[in-house]
Structure 1
Amino acid sequence: MSLIPEHALMPLRRDGLDPVPALREAREDHPVRDFPLPYGVKAWLVTGNAEARDILGRTEGLSTDFGHLVGSAGIKSGQNPGGLGFTDPPEHTRLRRLLTPEFTGRRLSRLGPRITEIVEGRLDAMAELAAAGEPVDLVRDFATPIPALTICELLGIPYDERDEFQALSTARFDLLSGATAAFDKISDSLVYLRGVVERQRDRPGEGLLGMLIREHGDELDTDELAELADGLLTGGLETSASMLALGAVILLRDPSVAAMVRDEPGSVHGFVEELLRYLTVVQIAFPRFATQDMVIGGVEVAAGDALLVSLSGADRDPRLTPDPERFDPRREPTPHLAFGHGIHRCIGAELARMELRTAYPALLRRFPHLTLAAAESTLPLRTTSVVYGVDALPVSLGAS
């Protein structure tokens, strides 16, 4: 009973890079539909864009508090990850207020030169591997190190500890072994990060953690700091790594798209926005629980019901943009939900955009003849992960 039943995993399944047809059929049948879950949980699957935006934007009547999950699938109160994702106002408001100044465009702009250095360093490392006759894996050598180095830089966490938090980050999103196992990984991550916080309390660094300790150390205890760092670390690592890798697959499918991104500097903004919409690697938003009766999309939702918002389904809704199943790098940017919406919208959205806009053109300029070194059909795509991704992406750099 620790395993999640197959029908409940449908919103996480994909056919290559596309959501499975069953998700589109669910949206066409009704954008808010009954979605039976085990353990007596009454749930609704939301696949329509307008309905998803309505739910994510509500500040009253819905809760993401972790307490609603306790008891479901054996989840214990001690597994509470805290942070922003599983917290309601006013606590959520207090915590987000402390973080928001560090994620404004002006503050983030100081990271721009460092991101460029990180990207160029990874490109150098890939060239060295190829020159030595070693295989190059775009996940291992490019897509993962770039956000890992960036988030370490932001938080002030030693990069030589990246393997530990990287493994904890990836494992938590895979629901193949059930929700309990995923929350166990979060608990492991928090144990590690509490140690990081304690070290920074003794000697605050120059990163975000050090800043929070110096300026708000009396307002935040060790658990709260670890929980905030956990949310930023995993949210800023796994999602960006998946986007960088899967976006590269899109580029390598079509040389004309790669040429556009490489040779037309003004095109990268629209390309990245369409990529975010089309891939929507975070497939489901944090579950919402109704705290009062309400009507959403013509459906009566009762207090206590769970609402599961399929972000990948909502971003393929024809009401958002025409022909949504087609990737169009010149499409007018849409108000997609790849970063969520409302008070729980990803606080690091602009940082992720900076990484993507820097990394893709640099990759294509350095290696204009980059190709996949394996058939796309053989790539090890994840099958049950909340954050969709690929575990390896072998490439040939070609003649530079």
Structure 2
Amino acid sequence: MTAPQETDVFPLTGSTYRGPAPRYAQLRAEQPVVKVPTAGGVDAWLITRYEDVRRLSADPRLSRALACGPGAPRIGGTMHTTPEMIISLDSPEHSRLRKLVAGAFTLRRVERMRANVQKVTDELLDDMQAKGGTIDLVQQLALPLPLTVIGELLGVPSEDLRKFEKWARAFATVDDRAGGEESLNGLAKLSEYIVGLIAEKRANPTDDMLSELIAARDNDDRLSEPELVTFGFTLIGAGFDTTANQLANSVLALLADGQEQWRWLAEDRGRIPTAVEELLRHVNLFATDTSGFPRIAAEDIEVGGVTIEKGDAVLLALASANRDETVFPDADRLDLAREHNPHISFGHGVHYCLGKHLGRMEMEIALDGLVRRFPDLRLAVPESELPWHNGEINHTLTSLPVTWGA
């Protein structure tokens, strides 16, 4: 096996919303398990093939808790999770917490929300149609749709949604400016707000997820106050910012190379569910091409003829796995009719995304409404002029000007 190239410093350069850094294709072919230096100054194992990424995602010997604990190796940057967050826990703590909250995210529970998600989407698109001209789709739809849905899930009063949006966006949009101070301030404001909201819901429960989580119990075990607060802002980061970015980037992917893909969807809206799965696979949401969160080997692990030793940091390149030609033929092509599509964009194993049903539903309803009302939607500026926020978590469009009609 050849040594990693000098350019192989994680995160690898050249990643965009269109796909992971080109170097990943060579790594999958020649060095699917390779130790690379990281921006934080430590070495980490980078895993790039689909089967390895999928298997290790479910391997309990790779610990998220060890990666968040004191003395854990720093991969670099300011992106952070706290030890109490569900994405930072190993079993049995993770299993206990997930069992208590999983009922709020079942397919049946999410389907009960469909009519309301449709209503919110229709209202936003009504407003878009009434305005006409050039519209910023990020501000018009991609941000307010998931924000409103998450706000209603948690029972956030409508009059609080705007300040809620400001704090949530600051928390989720992590970068290295001022050492991540803006993100930390957003986290502090959100935590303070959610503490007050929990107190209100405990005294006056309503029909919302937060009230349901407050009441949730398993063998007389309830979510503690810190767990409720932490889960609240975890839901905001995952359910608001991630969905907003996925929707905006997906619309861009459909429009960027002409309107053929968009018109193809408009011709038959029954194609949208399959197209959404392909957009989830093809559009590279993560700026680092991984889920963003390293793991630490709790014991020695053999992968692809290589030994990952106890204490080593491991990075699972989900974006690379989703471009593995052995699983996805013609993997770099956006194929909206792709039938076999076992992508792992929602992760795999115990940490797979709880909100996957909700995310899919929001994407499907939003795209269905857009292609139905605006079959001739197009970019209002060249793709090269679109503004991006270069943060540490997601490829984030700050504006997506679109237009339609004559």
Q: How does the TM-score come out when normalised to structure 2?
A: 0.87
Counterpart of 1:239 in structure 2 is 242
Q: Residues 91 and 179 from structure 1, CA distance in 2 versus in 1: closer, same or farther, beyond 3 angstroms?
A: farther
Alignment coverage as a number of residue pairs: 389
User: Which residue among 109, 112, 119 is the counterpart of 2:111?
Assistant: 109
Of the structure 1 ranges 157-166 and 258-267, higher mean CA displacement relative to structure 2 is found in 157-166
Q: Which runs of 5+ in 1 are unaligned?
A: none
Q: For the Cα contact (< 8 Å) 2:296–2:314, is it kept in 1?
A: yes
Q: Residues 375 and 180 from structure 1, CA distance in 2 versus in 1: closer, same or farther, beyond 3 angstroms?
A: closer
RMSD: 2.7
1:376 aligns with 2:378: no
CA deviation after TM superposition for structure 1 residue 240, in Å: 1.0
Q: For the Cα contact (< 8 Å) 2:175–2:390, is it kept in 1?
A: no
Q: For the Cα contact (< 8 Å) 1:280–1:311, is it kept in 2?
A: no
Counterpart of 1:284 in structure 2 is 290
Amino acid at match of 1:276: L
Amino acid at match of 1:274: E
Distance 2:138 2:112 in 1: 26
CA deviation after TM superposition for structure 1 residue 82, in Å: 2.1
SS of corresponding position for 2:52: helix
Q: Residues 288 and 127 from structure 1, CA distance in 2 versus in 1: closer, same or farther, beyond 3 angstroms?
A: same
User: Which residue among 264, 267, 273 is the counterpart of 1:263?
Assistant: 267
Q: Deviations over 1:257-276 (max 9, x none)?
A: 21232231321111011100
Q: Residues 182 and 360 from structure 1, CA distance in 2 versus in 1: closer, same or farther, beyond 3 angstroms?
A: same
Amino acid at match of 2:377: L
Distance 1:195 1:39 in 2: 37
Alignment map for 1:1-400 (pairs within 5 Å): 7-10=9-12, 13-15=14-16, 17-37=18-38, 41-58=42-59, 60-65=60-65, 68-71=68-71, 72=73, 80=82, 82-130=84-132, 135-171=134-170, 172-177=172-177, 181=181, 184=184, 185-216=186-217, 219-252=222-255, 253-282=257-286, 283-285=289-291, 286-398=293-405
Distance 1:182 1:308 in 2: 26
Q: For the Cα contact (< 8 Å) 2:66–2:295, is it kept in 1?
A: no
Q: For the Cα contact (< 8 Å) 1:41–1:305, is it kept in 2?
A: no
Distance 1:390 1:92 in 2: 33
Q: For the Cα contact (< 8 Å) 1:276–1:338, is it kept in 2?
A: yes
Of the structure 1 ranges 117-126 and 198-207, higher mean CA displacement relative to structure 2 is found in 198-207
Runs of 4+ in 1 over 6 A off after TM superposition: none
Q: Residues 229 and 183 from structure 1, CA distance in 2 versus in 1: closer, same or farther, beyond 3 angstroms?
A: same
Distance 1:396 1:177 in 2: 33
Q: For the Cα contact (< 8 Å) 2:20–2:320, is it kept in 1?
A: yes
Percent sequence identity over aligned pairs: 33
Distance 2:66 2:192 in 1: 18
Q: Residues 228 and 250 from structure 1, CA distance in 2 versus in 1: closer, same or farther, beyond 3 angstroms?
A: same
Q: Residues 187 and 56 from structure 1, CA distance in 2 versus in 1: closer, same or farther, beyond 3 angstroms?
A: farther
Counterpart of 2:4 in structure 1 is none
Distance 1:200 1:339 in 2: 30
Amino acid at match of 2:248: A
Of the structure 1 ranges 233-242 and 260-269, higher mean CA displacement relative to structure 2 is found in 260-269
Distance 1:112 1:54 in 2: 33
More helix, by proportion? 1
Distance 2:55 2:209 in 1: 32
Q: Which runs of 5+ in 2 are unaligned?
A: 1-6
CA deviation after TM superposition for structure 1 residue 358, in Å: 0.9
CA deviation after TM superposition for structure 1 residue 102, in Å: 1.9
CA deviation after TM superposition for structure 1 residue 20, in Å: 2.3
Q: Residues 38 and 377 from structure 1, CA distance in 2 versus in 1: closer, same or farther, beyond 3 angstroms?
A: closer
CA deviation after TM superposition for structure 1 residue 303, in Å: 0.8
Q: How does the TM-score come out when normalised to structure 1?
A: 0.89
